[in-house]
Structure formats: C-alpha cells, structure tokens
Structure 1
Amino acid sequence: MKNINNIFLYSALFLSFSVFAQQGKQKKADTLFNKFSFVKASKVYQELIQNNYNKDYATRKIADCYALLRDPRNANRYYKSVVKQENVPVEYYYKYAQSLRGMKKYKESEIWLQRYIDSGGAPGNNDFTKNVNFISSVFGAKQQYFLDKVRFNSKFSDFGAFEHDGKVYFASSRDEGVSTKRLYGWNAQPFLDIYVAKAGTRKNVDHTAKVPGEINSIYHDGPVTITKDGKTMYFSRNNFTKGFEIKDNKGLTNMKIYRAHLVDGSWTNIEDLPINGDDFSTQHAALNSDDSKLYFTSDRPGTYGGSDIWVANINEDGSITDVENMGNLVNTQSAEGFPFINAEGVLFFSSDGHIGLGLMDIFATIKGDDNAIVDIINLGIPINSSTDDFAFTMNPNGVTGYFASNRRGGRGSDDIYAFHREPVLHVEGVVTNAINMTPIEHTKITLYDENDKEIAFMHTDENGYYQINIDRNKDYKIVASQNKYIEDYRKFTSKNLQTELITIPTNLLLNPVHDVAKLAELKDIYFDYDSHEIREDAAKELLKIIYLMLYDYPDMVIKIESHTDSRGSLSYNDKLSIDRANATYNYLIRGGIDPSRITAHEGFGSRQLTNGCESDTDCEEADHQLNRRTHFTVVQME
C-alpha cells in the first residue's frame, strides 16, 4: 500500500509515453505516404490499427495505400470498413466504388458511385464509363496539390527549378543584362543559362544572379542537380567544350551532361561524362538520395521512342557505369524526360506518351514490395494541364516543390510554378486530471469555430486521447467536459502554418468538481459475522477511497463510523465495531492517507441498525450483513 502513489504515477507516465510514441508513428506514416512510399507507409498504418490508435484515420490511409499499389482486393477490404465510419469524407464513397470496379463488381460499384453523387460528390471527370487507370482515378478522387506564386519568372523561358540548401537553381533565357545577346534560332529567345536565387524570394532575378564559375556558356546550359554535400553539380549543356561546338551527322548540336565541382564558391573543373555521345542527346540529370545513381533523359540507341529515361551507377571513384533503360512501364514510343528521384526513391518524370490531360504531363512511379516499379500515376490537376507540364522536383519534406508549364496565365513561354501538398490537418491531444496527471477517458470534446458555432464533437478513448480533422487558415476553440470535472477549453489557430504540419497538439487539463453530491465513490464496506478482518471486496472499495483522496480530492477530510449486527451483547458489539473502525483506519493510513485527514474512527456497536433486524427479530443473513458495515462521512472538501 505504501507504494500506491508510485503505481499511479508510473501508470500515468506510461500512458503518456505510449500516446506520444503513437503520435510519432502516425507522423512517420503520413510522411512516407506524402513521399509516395506506399509500401512502407502501409506497414506503419497497420501498426497503428493494431495498437488501436486513431484507427479510423489509419484504416482510411491503409486503404489508400493498397489502392495506389494497384491492389483493389485489399483496398476494397479496408474501404468496406471505411465507408461505415461516421462522418467519413465523401470521396471515400468514390474510392470504394472504384475498388469494387477494380474487382469487376460493377453493380455494387454503381450503387456506391450514386451514393457518392447523392452525398454531394461532384462527378466531374470521374466517369466510370471510361476505362481509366485504377490507381490514377483513386489518386485523383480529391485534389492533391495546390499552386503557389513564384515571383522570379521572366517573359522568357524559365524551368528546371531545383531547391538545395535554401537556394533555388533554375534554367532561364532571360539574359537581357548584357549588351550582346545571342538568340537561339529555334524560338528567337536568348540561350539558356543557370541562375540561383534564395528560396522564397520575392525579388526579380536578373543576369547578376547567374551561378558563379564556368558553368554558363554561349549556348544552352541547364537544368542542374547537386549532390547532397553541395560540392558537385551535374548540368545539361549543348555539346560545347573548350570553345568548340560539335554537331552530329545531321548538323545538330546535341545535349550532354557535364559535371562541375565547387571550389572557393565557384563552379569549375568541368568534366564531360563518359555516358555522353556526339550522335545523341543526354540531358536532365537527377540523383538518388545517396548520390549513387544518375538518372537522365536520352535518345541514344536502345530508346523506345523519341527519348527515354535512363539510369547509371556512380561509383565511389566518380566513374559512371552500367547504363540501363528504365523499361517500358516508364518509357513509351513517344518522349519521356525530366526525371526526378525523391528521398524515398520514387521516380517522377514527364511524358507525352502516357494517357494524360494534354500534351506533356507529369507522372510518378509506384513501387511494390520488391522495390520494383509496378505502375505509374498521373499527378492530375493543377500540376498537369492541357499544355506542356514538366521539370517536376520535390523538396525533402515531401509536400513542397516546383514544376514548369507553358499554360495560359503565365508570364513567359515556360514558367516555374511552386506547389504544396496539403496533408490532412488535425487537432489532437490528451485530456488529463490536473491533480494526478492521469488520463480521463470518455471526456466529451467539442470543437467550435471562431463564431462559437459547434463543428464537431467526440469522446476521448481509454487513454484520454482525441483527434479531430480541421481546416487550415481558421480560428477554433476546443472544449473538454466531463460530469465529474470542471470544464476546460483552449483557443487555437490553423492560420499561417507550415505546409508539412499535420498536427496541432492541444492538451487539456480538468480539475475535479468539489461537490459532495458527486462523491458516490465513498461506499460502505462490509464484514463477515463476528470478524473485523478486511475482506477482498472491502479492500477494493478502500483502494478507490485512497485514490479519490490522494488524487481527485486532495483536500478532502473524512470520518469513519463502524457498526455490527444485532446479535451478541452490547458490550461485545461495541468492542467489535471499534475493532472494525481501527482496521479500516489502519488500512487507509498504510495506503498513504495522512492521519490528519481522518477526524475520527469510531464504533457504534449495534445502536444504529439500517433495518428492523433487532435482536429479537428473525432476519435473513443478507439483512444482518447490511448492518455489519463501516460508513464514511465527508467532513470537509477544502
């Protein structure tokens, strides 16, 4: 009993650490999902489901993972549970319908499609009469990306934005800052050069922002990629070395990938790579996460169509070997180009050969359990349009990046667009007893908007945890209420948050209500005939009283009154009731209750019977039992 305080404390700490661990696991799963690493994400979501943590959300996300892994059967199994959830987002009716269609259950699919429409879902391009790609249609059920303004576009061609160490490198033909301008005959614009600007800059970028060193030539230069340590750059350039332009047998100057090194803040020591050739183009360099592989575009022999995506190994000594075509799941009879590899090894590329929204669209690859590419996804609007969309790059956070497009509304022929992906944002937290820091289950959590209009409510789980999805750029108030505690609330905002943020932690503390009427926990305890031993059922009640006095009502003062039944002499019963009062008192003291908080522990023998079982009355044993008791009276609350 003397360790009961520590037991309660350790239990509270264990629950807190457990909740925080699960919160971190969910964030990890969401990050993997945003980076298109669906196999890894599905495994973490499965752990959350097994741990019964935010199970509804994890079930929705694991269903999405299976859908995007081209597995309609497993997707259907989880979507079937998802559509039974309360307040499920309407697009999941559409996703469930698509998974049914993927299993050729067309009649059921039509029923859920109609439910999607009846629930406010807009049919839009979601036409089941078309033979659309299963994963692309599921991915496109809800807009995934949102566009942000880029302030440094020019009236000329700008593309290939690549962010590294807080700077954006890009290719542009904006060179109006020199007196002699060389024009590219193809489009009568200046040749491309490589520029660098601070990420997020709102200033115009002119010729003074060209990267320092020997990178830029009199012909086309760019786009670029840079190794993780920032010391090596791979960049595209016309076949122009040491002042000489080299043409193929058709009189064309092809593209090559060159390598440069950063020396004293200047890019120099330029190398012509062995993967290049004079009779074909090699361009659009991209590196994987550990800089061990080089991805690029080329129309070299072995290409399926106009140009393909290729990959080669970069060895420790810098040599480049084992050039390999990415295969016909990626490459088509038309043109593919502008590869990019994110931190999870997912390939993004542009193509006018895969089914898209217009001319050249941007696609992402999907990898299976064996890390092999199993399918591709069209990234949909607004990334793709009816015109050319290309040069997609993603920042390490997995939710922001850049691409280029010549769509209407831009400033020049090709413009750079920034994007962000908005992960689901939610407010979550733990409701805790302010006295002992233990979680409070089944607390009602109510969410209000800035006008105090109720938006949603739920109850905390057995760990005191809650989570509610919210919109961005709004003000909220959240209230926790429970009938044994004083209500608590917090005001918070989802305005001006970082795009990658998915959780606003909002914990709430509840103080117990100091109301004697609510102290029903102080129940009588009972004794066997002619005994003052604390029975097992009595011990359970005494533990509740100890917990109540230590944690819920730390200022409460009580007194103890013990009784017997009518059998036996008055003197004997008086002594027996005093023994029962002492036994009860000692049990509470051993449990950690300060003696000063028990004003009296007295025995009243058989003088205060609860029923009519007098000594000369024939009563059942159950009626006598009601008189063999110890009663607790609250003397003071504060």
Structure 2
Amino acid sequence: MKLKHNIIVCLVLALSISSFAQQGRQKRADTLFNKFSFVKAAKVYTELIQKNYNRDYATRRLADCYAYLRDPKNAARYYKSVVKQKNVPIQYYYSYAQALRGIKKYKESNIWLQRFKDSGGVVNSNDFSKDINFITSVFNAKKQYFLDRVRFNSKYSDFGAFEHNGKVYFASSRDEGVSIKRLYGWNEQPFLDVYVTDVKSRRNVDHTGKIKGDVNSIYHDGPITITKDGKHMYFSSNNFKNDIEKKDRRGLTNMKIYRATYKDSIWTDVEDLSINSDDFSTQHASLNKDDSKLYFASDRPGGFGGSDIYVVDINPDGSLGEPKNVGSVINTESAEGFPFINQEDVLFFSSDGHTGLGLLDVFATIKGEEGDYVDVVNLGVPINSNKDDFSFTMNPNGITGYFASNRRGGRGSDDIYAYHREPTLHVEGVVTDAINTQPIAGAIITLLDDKGNEIAFMETDENGFYQINIDRNQDYKIIAKQDKYIEDYREFNSKNIQTELVTIDANLLLNPVQDVVKLAELNTIYFDYDRHNIRKDAAEELDKIVSLMQNDYPEMVIRIESHTDSRGALSYNDKLSIDRANSTYEYLISNGIAPERITAHEGFGERRLTNGCEDGTNCEEEEHQLNRRTQFIVIKME
C-alpha cells in the first residue's frame, strides 16, 4: 500500500514538474512574442503544441507569429485550426481571411470575411470584398508596368530603393562581410543599414557599400530620401542617439525620422526632427518635387488606426510645421506606409486596408478638381502580388523606378524589384477647315482598328481638338467628318514607339462640301462706311485666298457676294455693294486668279444683314461693320 502511495506521489510530482515546465515554456513564448521576437516565439509555441499544452492558445499565437512574419502560407495553415476552436475570438475569422488572400484563395477568403461580418465584426470601409470583381479586373487590366532585373539583392531583407544622381540607395539587413552580426528579434535577421551602389552596377554589395558618415547605427536605419540638391538626407532610424536607446511606456523602441547633411563626402550632423516622439513611431520619409513638403508614416495618436500617412511643411530655414493627416480617403483602420510623391505630385503608398491582391499592396491616389484626394487606385500586377509589396519609388523621368516585395521567386525575404512603365499612349490632333485654316468644333472622330472595327469615337471641342487612348504596336485608321464637310482620314500605327512617348499627332483637314459652305470669318473682308476700296486688312485676307487658290487648291472655283449695312437708300446700297464686289474681283484678277475661276461677283445691298441692324434700329458702329462685307462661296474644290 505504501509503495502504491509512493508511486502516485511520484506521478503527481512528475506531472506537476512537467506542468510547471510547460507553464514556464509558455511564459517564455509569450515574452518573446511581446518583444516581437516572432521567429523564436514560433519555435516555442510549436513545442507547446507538440506537448499538447494549452494547445488552442498556442495555435492561435503560432498563427499570429506567422502573420507578423508575413508568411501567409503557414499563417493560413494554423488559422484554419484556430477558426474551428470553440468560442474563438471573431477577429481570427478576419485574420484567416487575410492569410487566405495571401495565398491567392480569394473565394475562400471572402467566405471567412463574410463570416466575420455576420458575427458582428466591423471591417474597413475599403475592405477587400467591396468589389467582388476586383481580382478579375486587376488581372485582366492592361499592364503599364514591366519588371527589370536588379543585381544587388541579398538573401536577407532589401527594400526602399531610391535613385539619386546615378546612384541607388537602399536599406538592407545583409551585413555581408562582417564577422559579428547583431540580430533583430522579430525575424532573426541583422539590423537594417543604408547602402549605396551605382545604378548600373553589376556586382553585389557588401559591407563596403554602406553609406559613409553617421547615418548607420547599431540598430535599424533606412529607408531614406534625399533633397534634389543632394545636401540633405531624411532617413528612418530607431530612437537611438548618443549611444542611448530610448523606449516608450510599453518598453518598445520606436522609429524616428532624422535629417543628415552631406559634408566632405560623408553624411553627418544628424538632427532629430520636431515631428518625432519617444511615444510613437515616425518613419518612411518622402519629399515632394520642390522639397517643400515631407510625407511620412506614423502611428501617432489621433489617426484612423494602425499607421497613417501624414504630410508636414518644410520651412525655408529647415524647421517643420504641424503634421497633417492626409485623410480617410487614403488612411484606413489598418496600416498605411511608405508614401512616395512623383514629379506630377501623385502620392503612392502601401496599405493592407484597401482592396488588394494580398497583404501590403501599392496604391496611387487621384485628386479632384480642387486638389483634394478623391480616390485610390491599386497598381495591379506585376507591381502587386499576393504577398507584401511596398516601398514604391519613381525616378524623375516618370518611366522607371523600384519597389520591394517578399513574393515567391526572390533571393531573400524582401527583395528590390526594378520596373519600367509604358504610359498610356494616345492619339490627338486638331480638325481644321482646309480653306480658312480655322478649327472645326463638333467634328465626329472615329477610330478603327486594322480590321475596320470601330474602337472609339468622340466629338472635337470648341478648338477642334480631340484625344483618344490607344494601344501600342497596333495599326489604326482615324476618320473625321462633319455635316458641312467632306470627310478626311489618316492611317497610322503605334509600333516601335519609344516608351517615353505618350502622344501621336494626327491632325486632319476637312474640305467644305461644294456649294454649301462659305469661307469662315477669317476670309470675310470688310469695308469702311460708304466706301468700296480695299482696306489694308482686307488685302491681307484676299492675299490668303490668292495663295489658297494658286498653291493649295489650283482647281477651286468661287463666287463673290458683297453687302452693305442698312444706312442709306436701298438703291444706293445696291450700287455700293456692286462696287465692292467689283473691287474685290479686280483685286483677285490683278493678283493672278484666272477670271474663269470666279463664276460671279454680285452685290446684294442691305438685303442680307447678318444681325438685327435694320433701318431705324439703334446699333453700334461695330455692329454695322459686320454687315459691310464681302464673302466667298466655294463652287468647286477640285
């Protein structure tokens, strides 16, 4: 009996010791998790699951670890078990939906997002289910971006590439060539440093590629941006200065944006900025085209959730104004970061709160007529993928640039990708009256492909202008027509056109229909009151008609019609208008126009007034002037 009692005591003691050991293991895992050491935490939570200790809790934490490590495949694997647990917090439905999106299981992702909603969960107003056709539309959209090879990626994290004066600056945790490496607990990689290499460099970059000066520290540094004059650098770094690491109330070291000055070939004089705080993170600096505004990401109080995009004015003396949140069109309850402003003042950023293909996606903003942000656009593939896509930058040429992604097929965790874009190409032109060279408003423009199929049509504006987007490497025919004109067409192609070119010019000339159209006001000539002599301004217009008839339209035949205003007797005005027709006729003949090309030169007196200035009407002299005129009717064009 005593032996049995001793065995039971030993078993209880062994179980107690084992339970105590597992409690300690779980505490250690939670401590690592809370310190963002997710790689180490994941190993311990896996051990707890294998020991079947507090399995549901450990599985939830393990899934969260993989989500934080941006590993949607493993995250989805464990979230799949988590969502089957009894009384599981509904937030895990949303986390599972995001992880499924990260492995391209979009239909299943929407099912779990809907379950999250049905369970009372509140999603972002811009959540990824708002447009059920989004995925299809993105993958079917015509691509503008094409990937190019980058030779300086490593097996570690590389991102934030920024090109300036023939060099590429980027953040990397490679620390290659260094014997002792300090590791970041979150992902067990070395801390980030800022590197630089030539744009056309074909060699890998080791520790000798770190920028010179005081920017790189023993903690995270980068990404960066540089002013146009190359004198100042804004860069992200841990809250660490003068060998002192500062932590917030949670024991975390936040990020700050610092400014360095380029002196004697090194980056030095590092200064803390007024927008920073020990209590929240400020990072991902980007400058607008004239360096007057600084855009950045921050999780400071008062935002919409997660991290938001902010902008602050840079004063001439280098001081900063008050940061301003760019608003709810861009910022969501989730994370927004990595802002970038191109030369056209378009803001690009990354977010996992807007409709996307996976985790972080890159978006561009759209502004309204008053300069406010009205919408965002997903850049689509290949910029975005089912993984994290971020740190998008564009070179001043508007054609090339960089971004980073942890998508499949790279060298390491985050890799830098170069791109070139083929901007939307369009054909544009002006439709003009062939006789008087005046623009024709309301002309119908029809665009046909090489098979004669109608692709697009539109009307010219008041200036005779039109513009239509077209595809590259195609054959086209464009037709212009208007009721009073003979239609004209032009055949052209968009093949072998330089990427930088976005416009093909296709101006069109329309000849007036015979016996219908008068030459426009440009060629109408006017006379002084009670005179029939040709004025200087009238002679200039008649010279244009002579040039048209002699050089451009040698077969054209016209008729001359002359008029007077209403003042004076009817019979006198009849004679005066005939005199005006005769003087016009004689001018043209004396300048080389054959008489047979003018079928008639007639006077109509005051019978065809162009306005209401009849006898007894009080009109200004300018209005009477419009009636003292000679006009030309086209009888034959060719």
So what's the TM-score if we normalise by structure 2? 0.52
Worse-superposed segment, 489-498 or 454-463: 454-463
Q: Secondary structure, in 3 states, of the residue corresponding to 1:320? A: coil
* Equivalence for 1:563: none
Question: In structure 2, what is the equivalent of residue 588 of structure 1?
Answer: 585
Aligned to 2:86: none
Please, what is the CA RMSD of the aligned residues? Answer: 5.8
**Structure 1: which 5+ runs fail to align?**
1-122, 523-534, 536-543, 561-579, 604-636
What's the counterpart of residue 229 of structure 1?
Answer: 229
**Equivalent position to 1:597, from 594, 599, 604:** 594
How far off is 1:257 after superposition?
1.7
Partner of 1:497: 498
> What is the DSSP-based 3-state SS (H/G/I as helix, E as strand, rest coil) of the residue aligned with 1:214?
coil
Q: Give the C-alpha shift of residue 319 in structure 1.
A: 2.9
CA 1:459/1:585 → structure 2, altered by over 3 Å: closer, same or farther?
farther
1:387 maps onto 2:384 in alignment: no
Q: Note the C-alpha offset of 1:160.
A: 1.6
5+ residue gaps, structure 2, are: 1-106, 118-122, 519-531, 533-540, 560-576, 601-636
Alignment of 1:44-193 (within 5 A): 143=141, 146-152=144-150, 154=153, 155-165=155-165, 167-178=167-178, 181-193=181-193
CA–CA separation in structure 2 for the residues paired with 1:598 and 1:395: 64
Tell me if structure 1 keeps the 8 A contact 2:473–2:493: no
| 2:92 match | none
Moved more, 182-191 or 460-469: 460-469
Shift of 1:158: 1.9
Deviation digits for residues 448-475 of structure 1 (CA, Å, limit 9, x no counterpart): 76x7867669799697756554211335
8 Å CA contact 1:145–1:383 kept in 2: the answer is no
CA distance in 2, matches of 1:602, 1:496: 50
- Is contact 1:228-1:291 (8 Å) kept? yes
CA distance in 1, matches of 2:494, 2:369: 40
| Counterparts of 2:343 and 2:454, CA distance in 1 | 38
1:352-391 paired onto structure 2 within 5 Å: 352-354=352-354, 356-363=356-363, 379=379, 381-391=381-391
Amino acid of the structure 2 residue aligned with 1:296: F
Residue matched to 1:269:
269
Equivalent residue letter for 1:590: Y
Kept in 1, the 8 Å contact 2:311–2:326? The answer is yes
- Aligned residues between the structures: 444
- The residue type paired with residue 189 of structure 1 is Q
User: CA separation of 1:226/1:581 partners in 2, compared to 1, >3 Å: closer, same or farther?
Assistant: closer
TM superposition shift of 1:343: 5.5
Q: CA deviation at 1:169?
A: 2.9
Q: Which residue of 1 aligns with 2:9?
A: none
Taking the aligned partners of 1:459 and 1:173, their CA distance within structure 2 comes to 54
- For the structure 1 residues 184 and 600, does the alpha-carbon distance in structure 2 shift closer, same or farther, using more than 3 Å as the test? closer
The residue type equivalent to 1:502 in the other structure is V
Q: Check the 8 A contact 1:435/1:552 in 2, yes or no.
A: no
Partner of 2:338: 338
TM-fit CA distance, 1:587 = 4.0
1:342 touches 1:396 (CA, 8 Å); kept in 2?
Answer: yes
Distance 2:597 2:348 in 1: 78
- Larger RCO: 1 or 2 (CA < 8 Å, sep 6+): 1
Displacement after TM superposition at 1:296 (Å): 2.9
SS in structure 1 at match of 2:145: strand
Equivalent residue letter for 1:148: F
After the TM superposition, which residues 249-260 of structure 1 pair with which residues of structure 2 at under 5 Å, given as runs?
Answer: 252-260=252-260
Q: Any conservation in 1 of the 2:148–2:419 contact (CA below 8 Å)? A: no
Alpha-carbon distance, 1:492 to partner:
4.3
Q: Which amino acid aligns with 1:162?
A: F
**Conserved 8 A contact 1:549-1:593:** no
Q: Shift of residue 168 of structure 1?
A: 3.9
Higher alpha-carbon deviation: 474-483 or 314-323: 474-483
Mapped contact 1:393–1:401 kept (Cα < 8 A): yes
Letter aligned with residue 504 of structure 1: I
Query: Is contact 1:559–1:598 with CA below 8 Å preserved after alignment?
Result: no
C-alpha separation between the residues in 2 aligned to 1:217 and 1:293?
26
How far does the alpha carbon of each residue in 1:297-339 deviate from its partner, in whole angstroms, 9 at most, with x for none? Answer: 3345556655444444433332335355566665555443323
Q: CA deviation at 1:183?
A: 4.2
CA deviations over 1:603-631 (Å, ceiling 9, x no partner):
9xxxxxxxxxxxxxxxxxxxxxxxxxxxx
| SS class of match (1:322) | coil
Counterpart secondary structure, 1:590: helix
User: CA–CA distance in 1 between the matches of 2:353 and 2:229?
Assistant: 35
Pair 343,551 (structure 1): closer, same or farther in 2 beyond 3 Å: closer
Q: Distance in 2 between matches of 1:447 and 1:365?
A: 30
Deviation, structure 1 residue 431: 5.8
Identity of aligned residues (%): 56
User: What's 1:18 paired with?
Assistant: none
Partners of 2:494 and 2:236 in 1: CA distance: 45
Q: What corresponds to 2:548 in structure 1? A: 551
Q: Distance in 2 between matches of 1:326 and 1:274?
A: 19
Residue matched to 2:427: 427
Which letter does structure 2 place at the counterpart of 1:219?
Answer: Y
Q: Shift in Å at residue 399 of structure 1?
A: 6.9
1:319 pairs with 2:319: yes
Note closer, same or farther for the CA distance 1:402–1:584 as it changes in structure 2 (3 Å cut). Answer: same
CA distance in 1, matches of 2:378, 2:248: 35
Corresponding residue number in structure 1 for 2:57: none
Structure-2 separation of matches of 1:583 and 1:321: 72
State the AA in 2 paired with 1:206.
V
Shift of 1:247: 5.2
SS at match of 1:473: coil
> How far is 1:505 from its partner?
1.0
The structure-2 alpha-carbon separation of the partners of 1:445 and 1:437, relative to structure 1 and needing over 3 Å to count, comes to same
The alpha carbon displacement at 1:359 in A equals: 2.6
* Structure 2 partner of 1:5: none
Which protein is bigger by CA-based radius of gyration?
2
**How far off its partner does 1:259 sit?**
0.7
State the AA in 2 paired with 1:147: Y
Q: Tell whether the 8 Å contact from 1:549 to 1:556 is kept in structure 2 after alignment.
A: no
Query: CA–CA distance in 1 between the matches of 2:329 and 2:578?
Result: 83
**TM-score between both structures, scaled by the size of structure 1:** 0.52
The equivalences for 1:501-540 within 5 A come to 501-507=501-507
Give yes or no for contact 2:546–2:588 (8 Å, CA) kept in 1. Answer: no
Shift of the 198–586 alpha-carbon distance from structure 1 to 2, 3 Å rule, reads same
Q: Distance in 2 between matches of 1:456 and 1:216?
A: 56
Could you list the per-position Cα deviations for residues 517-540 of structure 1 after superposition, in whole angstroms to 9, with x for gaps in the alignment? Answer: x89999xxxxxxxxxxxx9xxxxx
Partner residue of 1:203? 202
CA distance change for structure 1 residues 170 and 470 in 2, over 3 Å: closer, same or farther?
same
Shift, 1:289, TM fit? 4.6
Cα shift at 1:394: 4.5
Deviations 1:350-408 (A, max 9, x none): 33445544333344566667766666555555544332232233555667654322222
The answer as to whether partners of 1:145 and 1:420 remain within 8 angstroms in 2 is no
Partner letter of residue 284 of structure 1?
A: H
- Change in CA separation of 1:582 and 1:165 when aligned onto 2, cut-off 3 Å: same
CA distance in 1, matches of 2:315, 2:212: 27
Q: What is the Cα deviation at residue 258 of structure 1?
A: 1.4
The question of whether the paired residues in 2 share the 8 Å contact of 1:184 and 1:190 is answered with: yes
Check whether the contact 2:304–2:331 (CA below 8 A) recurs between aligned residues.
Answer: yes
Report the AA paired with residue 281 of structure 2. S
- Report if aligned partners of 2:147, 2:382 keep a CA contact under 8 Å in 1: no
SS of 1:387's equivalent? coil
Cα displacement (A) at 1:204: 4.6
Give how far 1:506 is off.
3.0
Q: Deviations over 1:421-460 (max 9, x none)?
A: 66542223346688976668999988676x7867669799
**Which residue identity does 2:385 align to in structure 1?**
S
Give, as a single letter, the amino acid of the residue that structure 1 aligns with 2:360: M
1:151 corresponds to which letter in structure 2? Answer: R
Deviation at 1:556, TM superposition (A): 5.7
Change (3 A) 1:235 1:591: same
